[in-house]
Structure 1
Amino acid sequence: MPDHIHGILFVHERIERHLGHVINGFKTGTRKAARELGVLAEAQPRRTEQPATTEEQRAKAEQKAATAEQRPVSSVPYAEALPQPTSPKHPAVGTLWEPGYNDRLLLHKGQLGRWLAYLDDNPRRLLLKRQHPEYFTKTKNVRVGGLPMDAMGNLSLLFNRRKADLQVSTHLYQQEIDQRQTAFLAMGSQGITIVSACISRGERQIATACIAAGVPFIVLLVGGFPPLYKPQPLYLQACAEGRLLLLSPFQWQNEKISNMRQRCLYLNRLARWLCEHPDATIELP
């Protein structure tokens, strides 16, 4: 990828040294190759001047004052008045890698296959985001009925007056969930936008079916948008096609959410309110 690299390491035997040593060896080798190719240059040590004596400082100050008297400010060209670099800088000077790395052990059945599929699909996802940047940029302070929220996706879905909230009790049998799924798919085929926090198993099942079928959908996120948020694969295609809007009235937090039940109940009420108030004031930044 343009700004990062994914890799899957297969460890066939016990290694005595920490994995970090293996990663650092890879980084060292690629840095060396980058320098040989001319895409990366070693930063030159900064030149340090010897501290001037009091007499030298006085002489420099007198010379500077004399020069300023001889040449008025208006005669100094604009480019010359700009701050000048202390030393030339090679355009390729910089770092190839950030410190550290993120790793994950694949211990469960099916994880390796899913990660291989994820890496194979990475270029396509990047292309989608580049082709539709307006749908993959987080918008802050979107106000609906005065409530500020963060958003990502197609904001025009908020203006659809025909909305239906999706809430499924955890006590429903699978047959009942399937029946509700059929009903929501029918509503979506009529252009109705479905709104849900996608919390319960039934809600997630119906939301998955609706989004896969091309139904316009608004998802309320219980945890907010983390830094560098990337929609999950199911949401990605729908987002690129303008069929999805992600909303959250909550800010992201690294700490465990202690009031999860209250948040879920609040989002369910918010989903219903959005559907029952099509004339609510919508303010975009």
Structure 2
Amino acid sequence: MKRRCEFHDYRRTGIYHITLVLNDRRTQVLGRIVGDLNRDDDDPNGPHVALSAIGLMVQRELLNSISKYYSMVEIQDYVIMPDHVHFIAVVHRDVVSRNGHVTHLGHVIAGFKKGCNRLFWEMTGMERLTDGYVEGEKVPSKACSDRPPLFDSGYVDVMPLQSEQLEQQRQYIRKNPRMRLIRMSSSGGLRIQKGGVDTALTFPALHGYLERECDASQMDNGTWLMLKERLLDEGGKVGCNTYGHRSLLQKRLLPVVCHRKDKSLFERQKQRCLQAARDGAVLVSARIAKGEQDIMAAVMAQGSAVIIVLDNGFAEMYHPSEEKMQACLEGRLLFATPWHYRYHRRDEKISVAECKSMNCIVQALCRRRDDWWQYDE
């Protein structure tokens, strides 16, 4: 979760969405989520975080200490959540410390966390180990290093490049308490569930499928080993983690895969899918091809249920948009992924072998070939 843009110079101006997480997220020492989901976010009684004393300290440090030491850094939208912090940092000019040294955003964040650590230790009775001394007497450095920091090492940053991206990030920050309260209020559908999904797809079977479906340039032994390492292994079969109500897996499942050879028949395929969904079937797709995206969007628009197979695993802090979260809560949407999580750039393209793997897994989940729409009436 410590993402960086490898080509960006963090000494320069820019707008950043920064996320910091607690060293021990189970403690949730920064506060608790309270409020009424039926109230607006700007209503005092709407969803919000009731900050603890430690949370209030972090808020003061965020709003005062960073600009005190780095006047070129402005903190705008922010939210202190029980176990993490989001904020928009606007760097108006090159980052320079008060003594005139050119530095970068990482040092700014490190300084903020260092100040929070010192105050956190004081508030929790660990201040006696400050600077390697206990009541005036020097102690071994290991004793000082044993004090737990408030925040985990590193940070996550998102750099909005366009105005609409920036507004999306602002809305994400503002809605964080509401999204958390929705998840807390659900009966279990709004959480990641690991394993326990029977795809019935063995690794030798998937390997054979890929050898048949891919060209030699798209599928060699090295590619297969990479895929196998990334895929979830559950007793020799491809496993899946999910987000949403798994009850959808018990219904009649139909795969949605669009092939170039069937392009002239797309409208027929779409109408067959829509009708099947109206009749109670759950459509399953990896939404790779444009046609698949079109069909799945139309199915959701008519209020029918779908299962979406993702091209990456769930990150630690994963949760979808408010609209999709509501669909999960209502039992109309389930996310499934056969992959371990890995960070990849937004512009990184998915390989043919990965696409074919997901289409095979979609059919395995449904226990049905993807050309069903041509024959079933």
Other-structure match for 1:158: 249
* Cα shift readout 1:145-177 (whole Å, capped 9, x = no counterpart): 3644223122221211x332212346888x986
Q: Secondary structure at the match of 1:251?
A: coil
Larger RCO, structure (CA 8 Å, separation 6 or more): 1
Q: CA deviation at 1:231?
A: 3.5
Q: 8 Å contact 1:140–1:150 — kept in the other structure?
A: yes
Q: 8 Å contact 2:307–2:336 — kept in the other structure?
A: yes
Q: 8 Å contact 1:194–1:218 — kept in the other structure?
A: yes
What TM-score do you get using the length of structure 2 for normalisation? 0.51
1: distance between equivalents of 2:258 and 2:193? 28
Other-structure match for 1:51: none
Other-structure match for 2:195: 140
1:272 aligns with 2:272: no
Q: 8 Å contact 1:142–1:148 — kept in the other structure?
A: no
1: distance between equivalents of 2:109 and 2:353? 43
Other-structure match for 1:21: 107
Q: 2:337 aligns with which of 248, 264, 272?
A: 248
1: distance between equivalents of 2:93 and 2:344? 37
Q: Secondary structure at the match of 1:140?
A: coil
Q: 1:4 aligns with which of 63, 84, 94?
A: 84
Other-structure match for 1:114: 168
Other-structure match for 2:99: none
1: distance between equivalents of 2:316 and 2:107? 28
* Cα shift readout 1:120-169 (whole Å, capped 9, x = no counterpart): 22222212222236321322142233644223122221211x33221234
Larger gyration radius, structure 1 or structure 2: 1
Other-structure match for 1:103: 157
* Cα shift readout 1:52-76 (whole Å, capped 9, x = no counterpart): xxxxxxxxxxxxxxxxxxxxxxxxx
Q: CA deviation at 1:33?
A: 5.4
- C-alpha distance 167-34 of structure 1, shift in aligned 2 (>3 A): same
Q: CA deviation at 1:115?
A: 0.7
5+ residue gaps, structure 2: 1-80, 97-102, 135-146, 202-236, 370-377
What is the Cα-based RMSD across aligned positions, in Å? 3.6
The percent of aligned pairs where both chains have the same amino acid is: 30
* Cα shift readout 1:177-205 (whole Å, capped 9, x = no counterpart): 67755553443233210011111122223
2: distance between equivalents of 1:12 and 1:178? 51
Other-structure match for 1:126: 180
Q: 8 Å contact 2:282–2:305 — kept in the other structure?
A: yes
